[in-house]
Structure 1
């Protein structure tokens, strides 16, 4: 039995061992399969991860492509120049809004049509052989065309064509870039116009005038054509500009330009040179008589009354005429000669014309030399002051004198005022001369007083130039302070015509001088406007009757009546009257009878130097 249990035990042990072995095998198999499954799972997970990464990359690429296409579409539509995409047969595949605006066609009217079917591509079609050759050889072409908009309007365009090829190097698309050159052409034309034409008047400017003159000069040299030039300068325009202001003055210039064009339709060129200066060029003229007739017609047109902003104006001009001749084959010389002739016309009073001549050239040279010598005279003290006595008819005494400038030239001797005063006015030198006379007269009046002589009133002539400078009052005040002369011993004279050139500013200046205590006089009364309405507005103390009326008193009833009326009028306004140019006893007796206050003239005394005048005051004697 024990032996039986042993056998059973052994069998059971063997069975258990087999079972253990089988279990181990099963465990190993399970573990093996588990490990293998886990590796496969890891591989699957790795594959999934890699797939996700590739998906993300593809998504990023796709997103970039979408963004690039969106950006390209935005640029395509937002571009300021027109863009058209064509296929190789020149059928329109796409256009942007810019080209739609340029051409006037809607997008739907363009897409799907061949370019040759549309008016907006007909000039390109005409040039198609050249364009196609360039595209075949260089894959591009560019050039300027004149195309039509939908409305039929022609416009210049700049066209650029670019070829797009596929991977097989076959043309897949053609891209066209179109720029509208209309605005640029308008701008270029505007610049060209401003370069050659005066913006205010629309006339040719100085640059274009020079070009036209040179061209005309060349033609005249090659043939027998005659050339004439008119140099036109408006009279007293600066005063008008100062009085009315720049805006109204510009309107005057525009009206003058229109009158020039209407008066001279036969002229080849009408130009505005600068300011109030104009030029008229005749490439061919008939004769001097015809030129004179045309110029007279122009002066007549210019002289017609002109109303601007309620102001009635009368414009006059000085015109110089020069002719192309053997002595003036050069354009610059022709211009210079016309300018000299214009200056001569202005010198003789304006409102007229003058032909250039060699005698005029000689005269102009003399005036130029005289101007330089006058400048030198002011600097070197060649000027001095003479004094012409004024006789008080009530007392029979000399109690005033008019200060008159004289020029002692080192070589020419005494130069008459008539030879240099007008020149000084034209050149502006009159301001320096006027200040010299004012200062010297005030200084000398004080000198006579310091010498024990009775105080007298010295009168100094003013020029319009001094008034326009705007510093007359301060200058007078300064001179009185520096010399010590009492204001009531100074009298300032201004001619009637100068007085009324700039009424409002003169009224203000005269009022300030009157408040300062300075005496004021109107010179040459009766030769200007003689307007009582103006006269009573000026703070003046004396009226001087012009010598042209005094010359005939006592012999001419008209001069008698005018002189009597002026004296009566002045006295009614509490003004004193001075008669100038008294040269004989008949005139003196008449003036005494009419109760004139003061007289001056050769009967009383010629102008004398300061020493001689001091002797007159000391002796109380009138030199006859």
Structure 2
């Protein structure tokens, strides 16, 4: 590519120069491309997306009355992407973002725009939307497609996506307000358990405000000493004595009062706060247990997020050294969801915990009954049978057979069994007959504050429970 210039001379005539500007034009084109394209994924970047969003808003406002058409904004956030970066490194994280971008390109039609806004956030504009059916169909395809495993540099990674959907002009006509609406819907999708989508509706503003207030307060709860542990006893069915306690977290908020775990644990998991909260719970429980009889163990629930953090084993090791609690008196409870997420890494952590001498039990067993088939491969010490099976004891052969099978299988693998949600003396007697090791539930005792534990142990009488 040549640039031609003519320069007049004083005595007449002119000088014509020819300059090769190929590289300059290529550089200018590259600058223009970089200004509108995300370097890592090749998708439009936030700047270009904002421009297209403003164009769509103008068209929607001018044509909605005549054509009854608007457009949809889908706001996407990858679930727990930070864990990938933290555990596998940024090169793997970048590779995952590129793979996600490729799947987005395959799903999004030519008349729509998919962009990377930054980090693990993406957005999609769908033009000419007549009803919610169109964006909903796209959202369903996105959730399904992005959930398929990725092979990134030899690492198999499974990740979900949460999606917030806002419609123009129904939800907003101003581009910034529409983005805010989609962001609130995204927040609701995360609160609903992630790997799903939510449409914006007016009440979300208040829900998001309350949730964010709870999140802010929760970040300060440990320092302000608002958290406490209550303890529910575990009954040894052979000796009829208290064999230990499960620690259950409570939050005594200065304004909201006693906040139920269901109202703050999901927020703690979504934000990663469960890692410091979980460490606090293990440390506090171990300190409390040092005041109990040496025969009493302490069980603490551990989230899958704590497993993904990569620091769980070191945290437990440090806490045991700090508190002086023998490792054999600490039991960590995990869910089947934890086992199913990145099982190879999880099994490695379980083995390390076992090597420390810490016991590990599978909580709420039965909510994913298929796991019976591979229990033999998991380094566990015990199984806690979910209350949904216990409540059916004595009401027909079904519940009895299932629990009996679980107990028998556990015995062949030298695992203990604990029945959760025991509420009647009949259930307790049947569990004893079936050979269950431990029982837990309101029949024995509801969760109690730490200062009442020794009184319960010293005043324990099995006869009173059986007479209930």
TM-score range, shorter chain: 0.7 to 0.9
More displaced 10-residue stretch of structure 1: 589-598 or 274-283: 274-283
Residues 487 and 251 of structure 1, relative CA distance in 2, 3 Å threshold: closer
Q: Of 247, 267, 270, which aligns to 1:403?
A: 247
Render the CA deviation track for 1:211-268: whole Å, top value 9, x for unaligned. Answer: 2112322333444352321112234445566677655655554444344334331643
1:434 and 2:291 equivalent? no
Cα distance, 1:313 vs. partner? Answer: 6.7
Cα distance, 1:401 vs. partner? Answer: 0.5
Residue 487 of structure 1: aligned partner: 327
Contact 1:496 1:529 (8 Å CA) reproduced: no
Higher-Rg member (1/2): 1
Contact 2:83 2:309 (8 Å CA) reproduced: no
Q: Of 100, 123, 138, which aligns to 1:279?
A: 123
1:214 and 2:58 equivalent? no
Q: Of 383, 386, 393, which aligns to 1:543?
A: 383
| Structure 2 segments unaligned to the other structure (5+ residues) | none
Contact 1:239 1:501 (8 Å CA) reproduced: no
Residue 39 of structure 1: aligned partner: none
- Taking structure 2 as the reference length, the TM-score comes to 0.88
Residue 139 of structure 1: aligned partner: none
Contact 1:497 1:529 (8 Å CA) reproduced: no
- Structure showing the higher helix proportion among its residues: 1
Residue 470 of structure 1: aligned partner: 310
SS at 1:328's partner residue? coil
More displaced 10-residue stretch of structure 1: 388-397 or 185-194: 185-194
Contact 1:264 1:298 (8 Å CA) reproduced: no
SS at 1:343's partner residue? helix
Cα distance, 1:429 vs. partner? Answer: 1.6
Residues 544 and 475 of structure 1, relative CA distance in 2, 3 Å threshold: same
Contact 1:235 1:316 (8 Å CA) reproduced: yes
- Separation in structure 2 between the aligned mates of residue 583 and residue 282 of structure 1, nearest angstrom: 53
Render the CA deviation track for 1:11-47: whole Å, top value 9, x for unaligned. Answer: xxxxxxxxxxxxxxxxxxxxxxxxxxxxxxxxxxxxx
Q: Of 104, 108, 133, which aligns to 1:264?
A: 108
Q: Of 191, 200, 203, which aligns to 2:40?
A: 200
Residue 84 of structure 1: aligned partner: none
SS at 2:129's partner residue? coil
SS at 2:232's partner residue? strand
- Separation in structure 2 between the aligned mates of residue 478 and residue 247 of structure 1, nearest angstrom: 31
Residue 371 of structure 1: aligned partner: 215
SS at 1:604's partner residue? coil
Residues 221 and 444 of structure 1, relative CA distance in 2, 3 Å threshold: same
Pairing 1:301-450 to 2, within 5 Å after superposition: 301-302=145-146, 316-325=160-169, 328-448=172-292
Q: Of 178, 183, 186, which aligns to 2:26?
A: 186
Cα distance, 1:170 vs. partner? Answer: 7.0
Residues 315 and 556 of structure 1, relative CA distance in 2, 3 Å threshold: farther
Cα distance, 1:371 vs. partner? Answer: 1.3
SS at 1:367's partner residue? helix
Residue 362 of structure 2: aligned partner: 522
More displaced 10-residue stretch of structure 1: 519-528 or 291-300: 291-300
- Separation in structure 2 between the aligned mates of residue 320 and residue 362 of structure 1, nearest angstrom: 16
Q: Of 292, 295, 306, which aligns to 2:139?
A: 295
Residues 608 and 527 of structure 1, relative CA distance in 2, 3 Å threshold: same
- Taking structure 1 as the reference length, the TM-score comes to 0.67
The total of aligned residue pairs comes to 460
Cα distance, 1:558 vs. partner? Answer: 4.2
Residues 308 and 558 of structure 1, relative CA distance in 2, 3 Å threshold: farther
CA RMSD of aligned residues (A): 2.9
Cα distance, 1:512 vs. partner? Answer: 2.9
Residues 203 and 175 of structure 1, relative CA distance in 2, 3 Å threshold: same
Cα distance, 1:347 vs. partner? Answer: 2.2
Cα distance, 1:175 vs. partner? Answer: 5.2
- Separation in structure 2 between the aligned mates of residue 375 and residue 576 of structure 1, nearest angstrom: 37
SS at 1:388's partner residue? strand
Contact 1:461 1:494 (8 Å CA) reproduced: yes
Residues 207 and 164 of structure 1, relative CA distance in 2, 3 Å threshold: closer
Cα distance, 1:415 vs. partner? Answer: 1.1
Cα distance, 1:341 vs. partner? Answer: 0.8
SS at 1:281's partner residue? strand
Render the CA deviation track for 1:25-80: whole Å, top value 9, x for unaligned. Answer: xxxxxxxxxxxxxxxxxxxxxxxxxxxxxxxxxxxxxxxxxxxxxxxxxxxxxxxx
Cα distance, 1:407 vs. partner? Answer: 1.3
Contact 2:171 2:178 (8 Å CA) reproduced: no
Residues 454 and 263 of structure 1, relative CA distance in 2, 3 Å threshold: closer
1:577 and 2:417 equivalent? yes
- Separation in structure 2 between the aligned mates of residue 292 and residue 327 of structure 1, nearest angstrom: 16
Contact 2:87 2:308 (8 Å CA) reproduced: no
More displaced 10-residue stretch of structure 1: 300-309 or 389-398: 300-309
- Separation in structure 2 between the aligned mates of residue 325 and residue 369 of structure 1, nearest angstrom: 29
SS at 1:227's partner residue? strand
Higher relative contact order (CA 8 A, sep 6+): 2
1:566 and 2:410 equivalent? no
SS at 1:284's partner residue? strand
